[in-house]
């Protein structure tokens, strides 16, 4: 990797960080104080990223099992339907709550939001650490929910009656439900922390509209979490009470209404998809701008687009329920409101392209992932417009077209943004460069692998293959075989990623403060690489 | 990211010492996570096996960690120079945001209630589409619920009395106002306990009205307990002379929380007790 573009100014800024470093007696705490008692946003961010690697690995192994089962018709790798249902449930929940969210919000948000706004740490450092430990406790619970007895077979959406006491009598389902409480409390406390940090701890002169887009994306995300997570908590509480304490919120025999759960769940669940993708938008803006060596095109439009997406995201939830028996009027409203989201999303996509337009583009690994993100996210967005049609959704609901859609926006969109951010910032976090060649190998194997996995699923869905079944008629065999081959290729690409991790952490090479050169303009590039334990104990005054 | 800036360091004009409170490493967050794990495991074990030991250990450790953690915060607030003005503002943001999330928590229970209130046909074919369900006796809103409404509204005035005394530097008045507020909180809880034990419908397998009623008023009751505990802590802190006219955010947070609990009750009273009353009410 050539880090030749040194900035003549960069030697000036790191000095204050070093001075501050010396002021504090507790410069380098021991292992227990550093990792179990941490009040440092970078160390907590590292813990979150570690959690994401673990959660993503377990979730990824589960998807390999699923694709192995579906490789040929009438396979018996998964021995029974309950086991299959447990695997799909845990895969969904793990990938959302223990992979994407800890990587983007807990990990990169913790690492870089305080640095980008010129703050020494988060507003509530102990609370920040407790957010992480609640997530870790939740991980224990979701693994118990996967492995005790028959596991949790309700799917990640946890619809009753699938998870009521008649159909899921075991304690595993309760562990899975409480794991959402733990992850939810974690996210909620984290959201409060991020909002308080961003609103209250910006450096002098860092006005809201000078703030980098990643901070804006985390701010909007945090508001979505703050308002959506408690509704999930209420719904999950009602489920737990229905199961264990004789209430009948979702039990028709006692007068309850199962569709009510779907409303409550998706009032959380739809903002949740923006919770996963907005931080990705933030990362992509930085990467595209850096490697095009241009400021982001239409900064203000990008901010308002994110705020709009966040707001509209709250009023479209029932497009997940077009076949749940909601009225025609509701379907018309939720269809139209959903289509509105394409407008601010389009603003973002066109602004990224306009940022690249006329730029001096460098195809480093992070930029490849960012362009990959834009490409795949647009495909996933286009199929989203298809699914938003209430009439078409009547046909496509709960089949593989839907699976392809949301894996294009999440497992390809959000995950590509995570890797873009990883390669963009790993030098700042670890102090060592990643091997550029292997980074590109990782990108291309993943890019080909995931497209092979998910693109054929559009065809399977249009042909009528339903989701969440461990078997299918012979007619679907061809594309399922292709899809499984793609999945194993992307699984193999994960091995490349672990090899890259090994190379980074065994590397002896060091990096300058701003190793990307003139395109990297945000404040984290003003501190040394790796960022010292304490940054900005003297806060910068922004011009 | 503005157009004129080309490097990260260009935009830094100078530096100033940070005004924040950076806390030292603490073991309470880890123990808090473990306590939550034990508490939730305890609820599952209690529900499935009737075994309350893990739950008891979990709750005990949760309350212990809360006490020790907040004791640290109170002690830090007494050290001059740690909680500067910007830190106090940060705490205000934190509390206001926490209360906002609590509002959304109650939204889920009101959503549940209004689902049946406005659309009683969603109750299922075995039920006549009327709300409250046919033949159900509800609690008379003008008996204990009205008393409790008056009780909480009065407590809203007594907490304001304490607040004004605090601003005037009259610590004795603050203590008196807080003491009366705590008593009113306890009186409310006694009324609620009497109402629950004399309820015309059971909680267990009592059907959708009972479920909606008990979850909404029950979680409100839990919040009254939390608010009363919060005010009691403030009462002891006021007696210890820890508040002064300019620095008393702990008190203000408790007052905000108390007003929030009060407002939730007004909605409960109007929407569930009054609008959800049956033609014939018990009591």
Each residue's pLDDT expressed in tens, for chain A with a length of 543 residues: 333 333 333 333 433 444 443 344 445 788 999 999 999 999 999 999 999 999 999 999 999 999 999 999 999 999 899 999 999 999 999 999 999 999 999 999 999 999 999 999 999 999 999 999 999 999 999 999 999 988 999 999 999 999 999 999 999 999 999 999 999 999 999 999 999 999 999 999 999 999 999 999 999 999 999 999 999 999 999 999 999 999 999 999 999 999 999 999 999 999 999 999 999 999 999 999 999 999 999 999 999 999 999 999 999 999 999 999 999 999 999 999 999 999 999 999 999 999 999 999 999 999 999 999 999 999 999 999 999 999 999 999 999 999 999 999 998 899 999 999 999 999 999 999 999 999 999 999 999 999 999 999 999 999 999 999 999 999 999 999 999 999 999 999 999 999 999 999 999 999 999 999 888 999 999 999 999 988 888 999 998
Is-contact A193 A134, C-beta < 8 A? no
Is-contact A71 A476, C-beta < 8 A? no
Asked if the C-beta of A190 comes within 8 angstroms of chain B's C-beta atoms, the answer is no
On chain B, the residues whose CB falls within 8 A of the CB of A541 are: 12-16
Closest CA to B13 of A539, A365, A146, A162: A539
Q: State both tokens at A25.
A: 């007696």
* Three-state SS at B42: helix
ipTM of the complex: 0.95
Q: Partners of B12 in the beta sheet? A: A542
Tell me which residue in B23, B208, B212 faces A39 most closely, judged by beta carbons: B23
DSSP state string for A93-141: HHHIIIIIHIIIIIIIIHHHHHHHTT-SS-S-HHHHHHHHHHHHHHHHH
- CA distances to A1, A224, A343, A349, B208 from A218, rounded to whole Å, are 30, 10, 21, 18, 39
Q: State both tokens at A55.
A: 């959660």
Domains and CATH numbers, chain B: 1-82 (1.10.287.70), 83-282 (1.20.120.80)
Q: Where are the alpha helices (DSSP H) in A159-257?
A: 171-200, 213-244
On chain A, the residues whose CB falls within 8 A of the CB of B115 are: 257, 260, 263
Distance CA A36, CA A124 (A): 16
On chain B, the residues whose CB falls within 8 A of the CB of A257 are: 115-116, 122-124, 208
Distance CA B97, CA A123 (A): 13
Q: State both tokens at B34.
A: 């473990």
Is-contact A99 A56, C-beta < 8 A? yes
Secondary-structure breakdown of chain B: helix, strand, coil percentages, each rounded to the nearest 5 = 70, 5, 25
Neighbours of B107 (CB within 10 A): 16
> Tokens 């609901």 correspond to what residue?
A397
Asked if the C-beta of A169 comes within 8 angstroms of chain B's C-beta atoms, the answer is no
- pLDDT 10s digits, A107-131: 999 999 999 999 999 999 999 999 9
Distance CA B174, CA B234 (A): 10
Q: Partners of A538 in the beta sheet? A: B17
A399: annotated active-site residue: no
Closest CA to A185 of A148, A235, A225, A219: A225
Tell me which residue in B8, B93, B122 faces A196 most closely, judged by beta carbons: B93
Which residues, including other chains, have CB under 8 Å from residue A2's CB and lie 6 or more apart?
none
Count the helices and strands in chain B (H runs, E runs). Answer: 7, 3
Is-contact B177 B161, C-beta < 8 A? yes
Distance CA B33, CA B38 (A): 9
Asked if A141 lies within 8 A of B108 by C-beta distance, the reply is no
Angle at B73 between CA B69 and CA B75, to 5 degrees: 115
A360: annotated active-site residue: no
pTM to 2 decimal places: 0.94
On chain A, the residues whose CB falls within 8 A of the CB of B102 are: 230
Looking at chain A, which residue has its C-alpha nearest residue B38?
Answer: A137
Is-contact B150 A276, C-beta < 8 A? no
Terminal Cα distance for chain A, rounded: 32
């Amino acid at each position: 990797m050539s880090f030749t573009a040194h900035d003549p100014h960069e030697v000036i800024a790191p000095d204050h960080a070093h001075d501050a470093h010396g002021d504090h007696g507790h410069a380098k705490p021991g292992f227990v104080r550093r990792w179990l008692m941490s009040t440092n946003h970078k160390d907590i961010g590292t813990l979150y990223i570690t959690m994401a690697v673990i959660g993503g690995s377990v979730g990824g192994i589960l998807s390999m099992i699923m694709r192995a089962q579906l490789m040929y018709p009438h396979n018996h790798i998964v021995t029974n339907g309950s086991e299959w249902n447990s695997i799909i449930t845990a895969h969904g929940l793990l990938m959302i709550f223990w992979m994407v969210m800890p990587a983007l919000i807990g990990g990169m948000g913790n690492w870089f939001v305080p640095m980008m706004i010129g703050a020494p740490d988060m507003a509530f450092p102990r609370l920040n650490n407790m957010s992480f430990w609640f997530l870790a406790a939740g991980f224990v619970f979701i693994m118990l929910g996967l492995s005790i007895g028959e596991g949790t077979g309700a799917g990640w959406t946890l619809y009753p009656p699938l998870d009521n006491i008649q159909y899921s009598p075991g304690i595993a389902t309760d562990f899975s439900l409480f794991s959402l409480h733990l992850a939810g409390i974690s996210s909620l406390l984290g959201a409060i922390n991020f909002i308080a940090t961003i609103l209250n701890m910006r450096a002098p002169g860092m006005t809201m509209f000078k703030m980098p887009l990643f901070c804006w994306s985390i701010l909007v995300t945090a508001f979505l979490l703050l308002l959506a997570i408690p509704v999930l908590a209420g719904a999950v509480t009602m489920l737990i009470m229905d199961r264990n304490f004789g209430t009948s919120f979702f039990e028709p025999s006692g007068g309850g209404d199962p569709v009510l759960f779907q409303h409550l769940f998706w009032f959380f669940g739809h903002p949740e998809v923006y919770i996963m993708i907005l931080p990705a938008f933030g990362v992509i803006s930085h990467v595209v701008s850096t490697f095009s060596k241009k400021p982001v095109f239409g900064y203000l439009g990008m901010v308002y687009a994110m705020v709009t997406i966040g707001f509209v995201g709250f009023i479209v939830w029932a497009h997940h329920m077009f076949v749940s028996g909601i009225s025609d009027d509701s379907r018309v409203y939720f269809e139209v409101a959903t289509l509105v989201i394409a407008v601010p999303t389009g603003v973002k996509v066109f602004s990224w392209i306009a940022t690249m337009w006329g730029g001096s583009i460098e195809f480093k690994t992070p930029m490849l992932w960012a362009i990959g993100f834009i490409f795949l996210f647009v495909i996933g967005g286009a199929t989203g417009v298809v699914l938003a049609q209430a009439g078409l959704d009547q046909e496509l609901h709960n089949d593989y077209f839907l699976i392809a859609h949301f894996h294009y926006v999440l497992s390809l969109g959000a995950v590509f943004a995570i890797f873009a951010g990883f390669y963009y910032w790993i030098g700042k976090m670890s102090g060592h460069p990643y091997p550029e060649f292997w980074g590109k190998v990782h990108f291309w194997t993943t890019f080909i692998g995931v497209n092979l996995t998910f693109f054929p699923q559009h065809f399977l869905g249009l042909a009528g293959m339903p989701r969440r079944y461990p078997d299918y008629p012979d007619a679907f065999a061809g594309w399922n075989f292709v899809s499984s081959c793609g999945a194993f290729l992307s699984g193999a690409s994960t091995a490349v990623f672990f090899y890259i991790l090994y190379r980074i952490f065994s590397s002896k090479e060091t990096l300058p403060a701003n190793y990307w050169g003139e395109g990297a303009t945000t404040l984290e590039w003003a501190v040394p690489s790796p960022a010292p334990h304490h940054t900005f104990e003297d806060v910068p005054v922004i011009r | 990211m503005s157009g004129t800036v080309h490097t990260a360091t260009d935009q830094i004009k100078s530096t100033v010492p940070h005004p924040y409170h950076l806390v030292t490493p603490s073991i309470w967050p880890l123990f808090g996570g473990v306590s939550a794990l034990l508490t939730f495991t305890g609820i599952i074990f209690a529900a499935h096996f009737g075994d309350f030991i893990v739950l008891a250990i979990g709750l005990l450790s949760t309350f212990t960690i809360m006490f020790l953690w907040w004791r640290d915060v109170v002690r830090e607030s007494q050290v001059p120079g740690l909680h500067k003005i910007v830190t106090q503002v940060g705490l205000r943001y934190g509390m206001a945001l926490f209360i906002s999330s609590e509002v959304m928590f109650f939204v889920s229970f009101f959503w549940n209630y209004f689902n049946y209130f406005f659309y009683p046909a969603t109750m299922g074919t075995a039920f006549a589409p009327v709300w409250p369900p046919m033949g159900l006796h509800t609690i008379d809103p003008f008996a204990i619920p009205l008393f409790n409404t008056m009780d909480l509204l009065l407590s809203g005035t007594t907490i304001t009395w304490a607040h004004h005394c605090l601003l005037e530097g009259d610590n004795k008045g603050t203590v008196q106002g807080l003491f009366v507020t705590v008593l009113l909180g306890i009186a409310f809880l006694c009324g609620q306990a009497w109402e629950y034990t004399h309820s015309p419908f059971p909680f267990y397998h009592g059907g959708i009205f009972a479920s909606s009623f008990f979850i909404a008023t029950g979680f409100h009751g839990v919040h009254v307990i939390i608010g009363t505990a919060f005010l009691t802590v403030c009462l002891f802190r006021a007696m210890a002379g820890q508040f002064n006219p300019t620095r008393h955010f702990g008190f203000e947070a408790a007052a905000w929380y108390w007003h929030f609990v009060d407002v939730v009750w007004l909605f409960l009273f109007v929407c569930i007790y009054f609008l959800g009353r049956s033609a014939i009410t018990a009591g």
